Amino acid sequence: MSKPPIPVGISARHIHLSQEHLELLFGTGYELTNFKALSQPGQFASQEFVDLQGEKSTFPKVRILGPVRGQTQVEISLTDAAKLGVKPPVRDSGDLDGSAAITIIGPKGKVELHSGVIAARRHIHMTPVDAEQYGLKDHDFVKIRVGDENRSLIFDKVHVRVTNASSLECHLDTDEANAALVKTGDVCTIFSN
């Protein structure tokens, strides 16, 4: 059975904040403003930004994604990391123990984040219904074929994440997107040889 292609979404650098950190950065009782819905159900790009300060440089105007989470998490590419002077591990979202440190600067305050900076492991979001269609289960790893004819490639170690609140999409960061010459709205296919 030929499996349908999977949409690709490219993640630019962004941050998820805990309510505690949001209030330290923006003031007591602050709430994020929904700017635009993201493809994953309930997730949104907020109107708010922070600056991220590393050992070597600062990135201004990094988008906060909402809603707030239990832990603050910063997701950057390894190109970003080299420029900032931080050394994030490649990790799944939420797996933050021993990840990299950074300083977060908001309009009302500053947070010295001791861990929470990662380069996201590439992954595919899908529902249980999708998973059944592809013959996969949560935490499987697959290869995907993706990319422009000049830079096509096969990513190994793509982590399958199955939840009810998912929209079928393969998430790559900007380094990965550039290495394959792929952009949001393109598609990839699960590769089996």
Nearest CB to a copy of itself, comparing residues 133 and 178: 178
Closest contact distance (angstroms) between CB of 129 and a copy of itself is 28
Distance, in Å, from the CA atom of 104 to the CA atom of 168, rounded to the nearest integer, reads 31
Asked if 131 and 100 count as a contact pair (C-beta separation under 8 A), the reply is no
Closest contact distance (angstroms) between CB of 99 and a copy of itself is 13
83 secondary structure, DSSP code: H
Nearest CB to a copy of itself, comparing residues 24 and 119: 119
Q: Measured between alpha carbons, how far is residue 121 from residues 53, 64, 127, 161 in Å?
A: 22, 19, 19, 11
Nearest CB to a copy of itself, comparing residues 22 and 76: 76
Residues lying near a copy of itself in the complex (CB under 8 A): 77-79, 82, 90, 119, 121-122, 143, 147-157, 174-176, 178-181, 193
Here the tokens at position 75 are 């997701």
Nearest CB to a copy of itself, comparing residues 21 and 159: 159
Closest contact distance (angstroms) between CB of 141 and a copy of itself is 10
Distance, in Å, from the CA atom of 168 to the CA atom of 146, rounded to the nearest integer, reads 16
Q: How many residues does the chain have?
A: 193
